[in-house]
Amino acid sequence: MKKIIGLIVLMVLLTGCDATYNMEITGDTFKEDVDVFVDSSLKNKTVSGQTITYKELVTLQKDNYRPVLYNDSNYNPYIEGKQDDVSYYDLEIIDNDSKYGVNYKYDFNIKNYVYSSAVNTCYKEITINKSDTIYTIKTNKLVSCLENNLLDKLTINLKINNKVLDNNADSINGNVYTWVITKDNYTNKSIKIMYNKDNTNLEYSGEKNPENPTKPKEEIENKNEVTSKKSSILTYIFVGAAVLIFIVGIFGYIKYKSV
């Protein structure tokens, strides 16, 4: 019961946080790097409605472990410490002139990336499809971590060292593709990027897609799906980092106050 109460409190505490999700694709490696933070000026401020400060809240995370896979069947949230057959994020505290929070890192591969905790707590569906050397990453439109008021803003930066053939990014800087998700656009903010894994220039032929004549229809259909993941949990907590960042600390704090 205490953990359930802690989870409810957590949903309130996370309101007002921002997150920056950085991911770099190199071959079959997906390097995830997630910051969840508040403005550094709030570091010593008391969390709204609580007696704990943001600094105390973040400090509680130092000795805790967060699993990298969403709904990992091997993970038991009621057991403290590391568990066998469970992979965990590397954690660092962020404390600089502009940000205060927690950073999480983990290197996924092309097969397990779709189970990333950070991704799945914001998007209920993510797919990675393959057609020959062409890979397409897509998500659904609704960003649930903003729908549930867990974040005010989410910035996604995807760095890719392959030739990108199509994308719906908000901005591009070199080989970094950026999406900015806010309260104004979270209901219709899917992520989509298509790239050539072999990093070669392809001359497409065949039937063109009527919605986008620059792409062949067969690539839009994303044949030969290699990996897909759907999650049916509509209200599960984020942030990939957000949940990963604060949940164990809040549980421990509530447990401590209850003694």
pLDDT tens digits for 129-144?
999 999 999 999 999 9
At which residue do the structure tokens 């927690």 appear? 102
pLDDT of residue 218: 40
pLDDT of residue 49: 65
Is the pTM higher than 0.95? The answer reads no
Residue 162 sits at φ, ψ, to 5 deg, of -120, 170
The yes-or-no verdict on residue 215 having pLDDT over 50 is: no
Q: Where are the domains of the chain?
A: 2-258
And the tokens for 193? Answer: 């990027």
Band of residue 43 on the pLDDT scale cut at 50, 70, 90: confident
The yes-or-no verdict on residue 2 having pLDDT over 60 is: no
Kindly report the average pLDDT of the chain as a whole number.
Answer: 76
Q: The sheet that has 134-139: what strands, in order across it?
A: 163-167, 192-196, 134-139, 125-131, 225-230
* Distances from the Cα of 90 to the Cα of 33, 103, 105, 241, angstroms: 9, 8, 5, 12
